[in-house]
Copies of this chain bind each other. A is one copy, B any other.
């Protein structure tokens, strides 16, 4: 599967990958044009369909390919020894920011994929349980130290509240246009604001 593609020169692989990534990230699945992709990648029309039998397969290939790359790097860098929920969370956010800075196109692509409405692709995307980073925090808090929580607090719901707070904050930043594209993030400022929220929640949930 896709062995054809992996056998060509790495340079050409990269050109195709990047061209497709950019096009899908910018325009979404439906509006992305295979014509633009081949033009940008400087390959012929037929060649793209020689590697990927149709647009959908190309899209899903890209998705799987980059999910694996990002996830590998992500999981390998997590400090699993840190069992304090809030510290762990903060670490994850910092890590995510770093990855976003390193691979902005990939993250833009993931966001496009996450919001994809096209029936063609949506179902396939949902089948894949490798959910993208943005919405997969839940698994990352299984071995957390629960001894610090106030009695009577439902820890799973508490974790959800923290996650959703972070997501909500992040969405708001996006809406404000604070980081229209991934590369314009003012990390200091944002981290400081995140710490305010994390502290507020820590005060609330910890003894």
Contacts and interface: CB of A to CB of B under 8 A. Distances in A.
Nearest to A114: B115
Interface string A108-139: 00001001011100000010000000010000
A167 interface: yes
Interface stretch (A75-83, A95-103, A140-148, A156-164): A156-164
Interface residues of A, number: 35
Contacts of A28: 30, 117-118
Nearest to A131: B175
9 contacts: A27-B119, A28-B30, A28-B118, A30-B31, A126-B177, A161-B197, A163-B168, A164-B167, A201-B204
A197 B152 contact: no
A160 B169 CA distance: 8
Contacts of A27: 117, 119
A51 to B, nearest CB: 14
Interface string A156-198: 0110110111011100100101000000000000000000110
A67 to B, nearest CB: 16
A154 interface: yes
A206 to B, nearest CB: 10
A1 interface: no
B154 A196 contact: yes
